[in-house]
Every structure is written in structure tokens, then in C-alpha cells.
Structure 1
Amino acid sequence: MENFIVSARKYRPVTFDSVVGQQHITGTLKNAIHNNQLAQAFLFCGPRGVGKTTCARILAKTINCENISDISEACGVCDSCKSFQNGNSFSIHELDAASNNSVDDIRNLIDQVRIPPQVGKFKIYIIDEVHMLSQQAFNAFLKTLEEPPAYAIFILATTEKHKILPTILSRCQIFDFNRIRVEDMANHLASIATRESIQYDKDGLHIIAQKADGGLRDALSMFDQIVSFSNKQVTYQAVIDNLNILDYDYFFKLTDAILIENPADTLLILNDILNNGFDGSHFISGLASHFRNLLVAKEPSTLKLLEVSESIKAKYLDQARKSSTGLLLSALNIANQCEINYKTSKNQRLQVELALLKICHLSSAIKLSQIGTLQAPNTVEGLKKKLPNVAPATETAVVDAKPSLPVVDKNIAITPITVPPATPVVEQTKSPEVSNLPPKVKKGGWGASKSSMPSLPDLNSIFESKTEEEDSNEPSLVKGTEEEVVTYEKFIQFWKTLATDIKKQNKINLYTLMTAVPPKLVGNQIEVDVENMVQMDVLNMAKVDLLNFLRPALHNFSLDLRGIVMEHDVVRKPYTSQEKYQAMVQKNPLLETLRKELNLGLS
């Protein structure tokens, strides 16, 4: 049996043109070789599996090639190319910085750099995972990297550019490798499958490319795994089964059930997904991505953002036509909120099911909100429909249903009046220059004829009915009734009741503050004694809740609450000899006389 070679090694690019998805890098390197403008140090950085080390090897081989082609590619047949391909080149050295990251390793490298190349023009050092070098190793490498011999070239490769010292970065030409596009990766997998006589589906290769997340090496590893699993039949279903990926069909079925408002089917589809071993967080994340793709598919200009195969793209286009933009935006918002709350929830499945039920009834909710806006008789839109037609240039007064807001017209002086709560009336007081006739509005407004004037009784009936509805739902204090005088006995009764409720809520700090010292009632001002600023902060945080309870209970909305820090007489014990003597003198003044007569001092 021949030794099996994985596709990532077997089909590793050997020329610049065979590198996948990094044309901006390979084109620059080929031009540098063609124009003989090679830097002394290169830094290749980017995600894993995108071709950094591969491009470094191709560059090293091409630089030392004895017969470089017109398109700046290595010939592959000269002695230098053959020795490199066989792994015994004396001019090209590879160093793994992950395992050779000490100062001694770098010093050995510097000693080798001093020796000129025996074969070829240049001596090339490829240092992989260079970010693993210690800071001392970097510092030892600085001088050689800045001023190497004319025959030495360093090619550094790393996945974590931010870990490299700025002094190293400033001495290198930096090349940033991109994640490989899904389309380029799928085409490369298709070419390998054709060479190996493997049957494949384009949709299956697209799934592999998406799962690889921009890394071609990961895609080739998954491709080999699926080839073994499916016995050289890389179908869409084989990829889904082997890689444990949520199928597009699940989300398309689920969205169809949502569009027809069938909550039973949505819950059954979710149950099927969970029974197949998929996690709820992966499902809700995939559902949010599906809604995002539907939004993208609704606009032809953004269709290129879908990184899927043509057959799947056609399904997205068909379902996007059936879905409204408002529904998709609301569903995307609900799915995003569910994904945020999923990890902290104790019942995670319920979170997902609740989100699905909300999404399933979105269409009905949108329709009800539209019908409610059209049929609401007392809204602003409803009042506009009941008012007579007025020319667009007319400046009319906007009348609010609440009696506390006066009606103001820009052309008429209006004096606000106090309106009794039971029968709100809107009156207009006349300025000295205005007659008893209805006011005339300039520039196409109401005229003096009765036919063009609004029907005041109808308008007043609308306001009266609106005000009566609001008054029936509001407490009597809001309508302007007189506030009751609060007695201390009644106040302290409700205060104790409130403190008991707070104790039941386990707010012990606030309960202790309320019951330690009885509060004072000075007029409408409640004064609570606090011992320090910590208790003052506790009281201020609970102030709104306390007043929201006490004001309606005592029928007085002028009540206010404030804390007063108590003053404490601090008695300091005598510590020094002087302080102890002064304390003794205060108790017995004759002690000072005795000291003076005997001419004594304090030690």
C-alpha cells in the first residue's frame, strides 16, 4: 500500500500562479523579482492556512533559480530548484520559531548568516511563527535584520502580527494575506476532485468552503475526510452529515412556516433539529444569518454579498419575494436578542421556542398595529379626519385634549384660563382689536362665511368625550382636586406599612434606615435621619419608589423626602503624654498648681 499524502501537501502550490486567492501578494513579489528590487526582509502575516509559508518557499526558490522565466516563475529543473524540492538545499533554511525561540537560537542563526552561499545568489532564511520569539531574541535579531549581508534575505511569517515588536516591523516589507473567498476555494476543490476522479456536488463544495472560514488548508482537510466518508462521492448530503452542519433546508422550511403563521410546524422543526444533536445557540445564530441573507436577497445590488452556490441563491431570491422587509427586520431583531440572552438563561430551549413563537406571530401583530392606527378615533390622525378640509397654507391651532394646555394661534392673542375638571372647555379671549365675529385667517384660511367655518359643537364633543375617558382612568388628584392635609399619625402608619413591604423584598439596608429613627414630617417635607453618606445614597436611590407609594396613599402629591446626616460628638481618648496630662488637669485643676510649685516637666 502506498503512503497516503493529504491533499494539503499533495496539491501545495509550487509556483506563484498556482497560489489560490492571493493575487495581490503574488503579483507584487513577481514584479519585485522581475525588477530586481528585493528587500532584505519580508513579513508575511494573515490567518492560518491562507498560503504564507507556501509563498515564502516559492519566493525563496524563485530567487535562487538559475533559469527564471519571463513571467518571474522558477523553472523547477535547475540544480537549485531540485535541491530545494528534495529538501537538501544549502542556501535556503527554514526555522520554526515556536520551538527555537531563545537568544542562543538566534545567535546561531546570526553566525550562519556570516557564511556566504555556496550555491545560488542568495542565502534565504524562512522563520515561521516568528511572533513566538522572546523579546531578548527579537532584540538580538534587530541589528542583523536591519543591516544583513548583501546575499542574505529573511522571510518572516506569522499569524499574530500584533505580537511582533514595532522595531521589527519597521525593518520589514509587510504583506497582509487575505482570507480566501468561498468561490475561489470551491473552484480549487472542484479542480482537485476532477484530478482525483471524485464525483462531487457544487453545493457540497460550497458548504466545505464556508465551514473552512477562509483557510484553504482546513478546507482540504475536510475534503479528504468527506472523500473517505462517502467513498469518493462528495454530495451535499454527505457533507451535511459528516460535518454536522445545519442544512439550509431547515431554515427555508422554518421561514415558510413563519410566513403562513404556523407555530406548530416551527416548534416541530426546532425539535427535529435539537434531536439531531445541534445546539440551540448554533440554531438561533444560523436563523439570524438566514434572515440576514433574505434581507440581502431583496435588493439586486446586494445579491453579490451572498456567498452561496447558485441553486441556494435562487432559493433565497424566491423566499425573499414572499417576505416583507418589516417582518424580516423584526424577526432578525428578536433572533439577535434571543442569542444574547441564551447563555444566561436557565431554560435555554424555552428561550428559543419563545423567540420562534414571537417571530411566527409578527405578521398578525403588524396588521393589527396598522388597523389600530387607521381606526383609532381619538388619535391625532383620527381628529384630522373629523376636522373639515383646510387649505395647506392655513396655520391652525392644534388643540390638545388635556385642559392644562391652552390653545394658541399665531394670529390671535390667547389667555389661558383655568378649567374645572368635570367639564373642560377651550375658550379664546379676544384682544382689543378683535371683534365678536370669528377670526379671519390670512392666506387662504377660513373666511367670514358660515359654510367655511368648522363645526364647533362637533369639535367640542370630541374633546369632551376624550377628556371624560382620560378623567375616568386618572386618579382624582391628577384632575386638580385639593390635596389633603397629612397628619403625622396617618403618615407614620403608612410609613411602617411600607417598611414592612421593603423587609419582605429583602432590602435590609433600606428597612434598617427607615426603622432606626422615626422620620419627621414638616409640612409636606419628610425628613429622614441618616448616619453617613452611604445611607444617604441608599435613601436617594429608593426616593422615587417611596414617594410613588406615599403620595397616592396619603392623597398628597406635594410630599417630598430628603435625608439629614446626623451630627455625632466624637470623643477622642487621650493618647500622648500631653493629652493624658490635660485630661487629668480637667478633672483636678490643683494638679497644674502642684506641677508649677515643684517645677516639674512632662516626659
Structure 2
Amino acid sequence: MSYENLALKYRPQILDDLVGQEAFIRTIKNAVEAGRLAKAFLFYGPRGCGKTSSARILAKTLNCRNIKDNNPCGKCSSCLEISQSRSLDVLEIDAASHTQVQNVRDVIIDNINIAPSRDKYKIYILDEVHMLSNSAFNALLKTVEEPPPHAVFIMATTEINKVPATIISRCQTFRFKPISKEELKKRLAEICEKEKFSYEDKALDIIASSCGGAMRDALTILDRISSFSKGKIETSLTFETLGLPPEEIVKKLALSILNRDASGINSVFKIISSDGFEPQAVLRELRNYFAQSFLSANSFSLDASFDVPAGHNPYSFAKLSRKMNRIMEEIKFSDNPLLACEMALYTVIETPVDIEALVKRLEAAESAVSGNYTAPPSFQEQKPQPILRENTEEEKKTEILKAPLHSSEIWRKVTDVISSEDPALFNFLSDCSAIFGENEWKLRFEKDFPKVFCSKKSQYISSLIAKTAGRDIKISFELKNNPQEVVDVTNSKSPDNQENNEVENLNWQDINEGDPKDTFPEYKKISKMLKGSIVKVHKIKNKESAK
């Protein structure tokens, strides 16, 4: 009798043999008991988790003549023929090799109305159904939606995102999840006992971790190790068969990275090179080690026996685990993966120090010296900071006019507010010179017109200064070439009377000589401020000087 590998030998034959798919088992059993089975099923999930096996079990359940506890008997002619893939009424189609619409027409559509030769249902199992073309899917739509009473469709796929929504909506859909590590390990131990293999618990743990939740992969690995070791499933032989670096090497490499020890990394890579370990496998184990260290350091992991490297920030483990993923992507297409891997790890240890951790340590040391030491909060105690909203325009103006400041800073804040509220006044104040005293400020102007214009706004300016400075400050306006001519804006005299007196002493005289652009020096500034053009310019002279 020819040898049968473990994956085929221990392939599930009834619903109770399936591992890790309790939701599917319970649904199908209840449907069989109630006689409410759908006409189209769609199974999706990762490889090796039991989709095709479940499709065959469902086919046997539908056509079995001796159902026992809602499970196929496995002994009738229908069950035996389906198990051996030779039933005339169960057609298992590989969609990857029958992608065209013509294949679907020839195999399914043209023959679906033919009654089954012996069994109750004619069942079509379409494996890897996502490989069908769009035309083939469209040809199936009507048939899947309204099949003949004797027809049942069972479709399986690893990529449900490639299956059209019109097909999904016409099927009863089941998600097949990856099998957990504990369930895999338990099943492997049962098979080892049946096959009379001697095994170590750690070796089964490594196999369960390496197969990615796929039972078929786990049984294939177990079969290979048993052939290599003559039925002895040992930890060292498992590492060697799978090409995985031993835990000692992974741990030594991880500590060298954490301690920024370049010579330690180099010595480990000499061992990796001599023993022929795959760089991708080394990086994968290193990534898992850092991830497990982070989880264990924060009490997220149930593995209490894991030895976490002491004296390191848990966040550094998470960052290093992520960096290992990036390095795996970088060296994937390298012509020398081992060298590329080693050089990449050297760059990892040369990254800048953790500034945040350093600052916390300095703050803790400073607090300890002052006697007010407070332990930093743990990872679990950290709370998210509230999101700060952006201030409104009114709040921004209020913030500008806040807190006691130096005189120059007060004046800058006042002019900032004036620039947004009165641009004309701001332009004249920008050209004056401010002399700051403790209780009196003097604003000196080059020309008389800006001084007069600003003095009319004295109350407005004084109120802004008082609001910003928090106290009353006397303001006076004067000309630079005549320091004695002072306008006291805080005087008890009415500003209107002063203005009238000044206007009475002024004489208007037209300037007709030449273009104002050339003869009037303030032309550009005033035209820009007024946003227009100047037609005529009047020159102001004092009546007494005119005499």
C-alpha cells in the first residue's frame, strides 16, 4: 500500500472532525435537523483552515443515506465516492483552470437541468472561485439565484474581495477563521499519539506557531519532521528542519541590538552564516521576540514564562518590532540578503537615543534631588491628552491684550490690534518714534499732518494702552524738529477745542506745479491707504508764517 501523508490521512471526514470552526458546524447541523439548507454556499478564509474539506463534508451530508447525529455516516456508497472524488453527482471544479465563460457554460449551465444519476442532489463545488472571469461570474448569476430543486452550489475562496457582490448576496456565506495555536497544538498531540511519535511539548509549540493558523501546513511540517527524525519530534530537530534560528541566537541578537553592541551583532551573524539560516527567518523570529517582549512588559501576554530584557523602555520593543518588518521588506529582493540584513541592523543601533525617555529620567532625577519624586505613570495609567480647539478671532484679540509687559512689547501689541481695526492710523503710527517713560509716552512725528491725525484718535489709543498695560499712561504727540510743541491727549481740555484752534491757524494753498506723483512725497503711501488716485494736492501753511 502506498504511503499517505498526514494531511490527507487525517483530513476531516465529518463535521465533528473540523477544528476551530464551531460556528459553521453548529449552523450546518441545525440546518440539517430543520431541513432548511440553502441552495448556494460561499466559504472564505485563509489557506489550510478547512474550506474544501468542509465543502466535501457538506456534500456528503446532503447526499448521505444514513445521517447520524446530523453527521454523514461515511460508510454508504455516496459518502465513500465523495471522499474518493469519484461521485457522478458531485462535481468538484477548479475555478483557477476553468476561468473562461465558455467553461462555465459547458460544465455547469448546459448540464444543470439534468437530474442527478443516483443521489438526492447534484452538487457543484467551485474551489478558488475568485479566479473566474467577470463574464463567467455574470453567466452564473441567474443560475446561482434560481437553481433547479436538485442543484446546490458550494464555492470556496481565499480572496472574497475579488468575488462580485452580486454573487455574495446570492449565497449563504461562512467565514473560516485561522485555527488558534492551542487547538493546533492539541490536534498535533493527538495525531502524534495515534502515529506513536515521541514528541516534546516545545516542538509542537514551534510547529503551531510556524504554520500561520493552517492545519494542513501544521500536518505537513509534522510529517516532514517525523521523516527526518524517524518519529522523534524534538525541539532541536524542529528548529533545524524548519530552518529557524535557535532561541539562544535570537535572544543574543536582540540583546546586542538593545545594547547597541555592533561586535555582538557581527558574532551572531557569523553563526547565522555558518549554519545557513535564512535572513528572513532570523528577522521574523527577531520581530516576534520584540513584540512578545512589549506585550509581556505591559502584562498583555498570557505567557508568564517569557523573559523580558530588563532596563529598557517597553516602547523601544514595539519600535524595534516594527523596524524588523521594514527590514524584511527591504532585503526581500536583495542579491545578498544576509549582508543586507546585517547592515540594516547596524543602522538600527545607530538611531538617535529616545529623547522622551531621557527627558523623563532627567525630570525624575531632578525631582528626587528636591525631595518631590513622583514615579512616572505606567503604560496602562497614561491618559490621552485633550484636543485643543483653535481660538476664535475675539479670543485671539483678548490674548493679545493680556499680562503686564515691557513698554516696547505693550506698544507692539497695541499697534498689532490697531493694524487690524484702523489701517490708516496704523500707517501713521508706524512712522513715528516712541519715547517710553514710566507714566508718560511721547510719540514724535516728522510732519504735522500725521501728528494731528493721530491726536484725534488719542482716546482710542489711550484705551488700548490702558487695557494692555493694566494702568493709565499719559500720551503726548510732538514734532521731531520742535520738541516743545506738545499735544497732551490726557489733558482735561476738550480735544475738539484744540482741533478747532489748530484748524483756524492753518491756511490752504493749491499746489499746481508738476505731477503730484513727483511733487508730493507722501503720494504713494496715501494713495495705497485710500485705495484710489490723488487728483489735487493742497499745501497747509500757518497763517502767521504766511504773513
- TM-score norm. by structure 1 comes to 0.56
2:314 counterpart (325, 328, 342): 325
- Asked if 2 retains the 8 angstrom alpha-carbon contact of 1:338 and 1:352, the reply is yes
Aligned twin of 1:49: 48
Aligned twin of 1:76: 74
- Asked if 1 retains the 8 angstrom alpha-carbon contact of 2:42 and 2:174, the reply is yes
**Residue 57 of structure 2 corresponds to residue 58 of structure 1:** yes
Distance 1:291 1:413 in 2: 53
- Asked if 2 retains the 8 angstrom alpha-carbon contact of 1:40 and 1:152, the reply is yes
- Asked if 2 retains the 8 angstrom alpha-carbon contact of 1:327 and 1:362, the reply is no
Aligned twin of 1:34: 33
Aligned twin of 1:514: none
Distance 1:371 1:68, change over 3 A: closer
Secondary structure at the residue paired with 1:116? coil
Show the 5 A alignment for 1:452-601.
none
Distance 2:319 2:90 in 1: 59
Aligned twin of 2:534: none
Secondary structure at the residue paired with 1:190? helix
Distance 1:274 1:30 in 2: 54
Secondary structure at the residue paired with 1:98? coil
Q: CA deviation at 1:413?
A: 5.9
Show the 5 A alignment for 1:431-450.
none
**Residue 48 of structure 2 corresponds to residue 11 of structure 1:** no
Distance 2:130 2:240 in 1: 38
Aligned twin of 1:135: 134
Secondary structure at the residue paired with 2:88? coil
Amino acid in the other structure paired with 2:344: V
Aligned twin of 1:589: none
Aligned twin of 1:243: 242
- Asked if 2 retains the 8 angstrom alpha-carbon contact of 1:91 and 1:120, the reply is yes
- Asked if 1 retains the 8 angstrom alpha-carbon contact of 2:43 and 2:174, the reply is yes
Q: CA deviation at 1:351?
A: 2.7
Distance 1:162 1:370 in 2: 47
Amino acid in the other structure paired with 1:325: P
Distance 1:18 1:68 in 2: 15
2:92 counterpart (69, 91, 94): 94
Distance 1:83 1:282 in 2: 42
Secondary structure at the residue paired with 1:58? helix
**Residue 351 of structure 2 corresponds to residue 351 of structure 1:** no
Q: CA deviation at 1:9?
A: 0.8
- Asked if 2 retains the 8 angstrom alpha-carbon contact of 1:50 and 1:216, the reply is yes
- Asked if 2 retains the 8 angstrom alpha-carbon contact of 1:338 and 1:355, the reply is no
Distance 1:118 1:353, change over 3 A: closer
**Residue 193 of structure 2 corresponds to residue 194 of structure 1:** yes
Q: CA deviation at 1:280?
A: 4.3
Amino acid in the other structure paired with 1:92: V
Amino acid in the other structure paired with 1:199: S
Q: Choose 77-86 or 366-375, whichever is displaced more.
A: 366-375
Distance 1:331 1:57, change over 3 A: closer
Q: CA deviation at 1:13?
A: 0.3
Distance 2:358 2:312 in 1: 18
Distance 1:107 1:339 in 2: 45
Distance 1:227 1:94 in 2: 32
Aligned twin of 2:211: 212
- Asked if 2 retains the 8 angstrom alpha-carbon contact of 1:414 and 1:429, the reply is no
Aligned twin of 2:489: none
- TM-score norm. by structure 2 comes to 0.61
- Asked if 1 retains the 8 angstrom alpha-carbon contact of 2:297 and 2:308, the reply is no
Distance 1:33 1:82 in 2: 20
- Deviation string, structure 1 residues 127-150 (Cα, Å, up to 9, x no partner): 222223333332322222111111
Distance 1:198 1:411, change over 3 A: closer
- Asked if 1 retains the 8 angstrom alpha-carbon contact of 2:15 and 2:25, the reply is yes
Distance 1:409 1:431, change over 3 A: farther
Aligned twin of 2:501: none
Show the 5 A alignment for 1:44-443.
44-69=43-68, 71-108=69-106, 109-256=108-255, 263-280=262-279, 282-300=281-299, 302-304=300-302, 313-316=303-306, 318-320=307-309, 323-325=312-314, 327-328=316-317, 331-332=320-321, 348=340, 351-355=343-347, 357-358=349-350, 412=404, 414-416=406-408, 430=438
Distance 1:105 1:340 in 2: 39
- Deviation string, structure 1 residues 32-87 (Cα, Å, up to 9, x no partner): 21221111111112222111110011011011222322x31112233433443454
**Overall identity of the aligned pairs, in %:** 34
Secondary structure at the residue paired with 2:267? helix
- Asked if 2 retains the 8 angstrom alpha-carbon contact of 1:280 and 1:348, the reply is no
- Structure 2 gaps of 5+ residues are 373-399, 411-435, 441-547
Q: CA deviation at 1:265?
A: 3.2
Q: Which has the higher strand share?
A: 2
Secondary structure at the residue paired with 2:78? helix
Secondary structure at the residue paired with 1:66? coil
Q: CA deviation at 1:196?
A: 0.3
- Asked if 2 retains the 8 angstrom alpha-carbon contact of 1:266 and 1:356, the reply is no
Secondary structure at the residue paired with 2:188? helix
Secondary structure at the residue paired with 1:222? helix
Aligned twin of 1:451: none
- Asked if 1 retains the 8 angstrom alpha-carbon contact of 2:243 and 2:278, the reply is no
Distance 1:344 1:158 in 2: 29
Distance 1:102 1:355, change over 3 A: closer
Q: CA deviation at 1:262?
A: 5.5
Amino acid in the other structure paired with 1:3: S
Distance 1:138 1:371 in 2: 63
Distance 1:275 1:107 in 2: 57
Distance 1:179 1:271 in 2: 37
Amino acid in the other structure paired with 1:81: C
Distance 1:102 1:371 in 2: 66
Q: CA deviation at 1:354?
A: 2.1
Distance 1:161 1:333 in 2: 28
Amino acid in the other structure paired with 2:99: N
- Asked if 2 retains the 8 angstrom alpha-carbon contact of 1:335 and 1:355, the reply is no
Secondary structure at the residue paired with 1:195? helix
Amino acid in the other structure paired with 2:190: S
Distance 1:375 1:95, change over 3 A: closer
Q: CA deviation at 1:190?
A: 1.5
- How large is the RMSD of aligned CA atoms in angstroms? 3.8
- Structure 1 gaps of 5+ residues are 305-312, 386-407, 419-427, 433-603
Aligned twin of 2:477: none
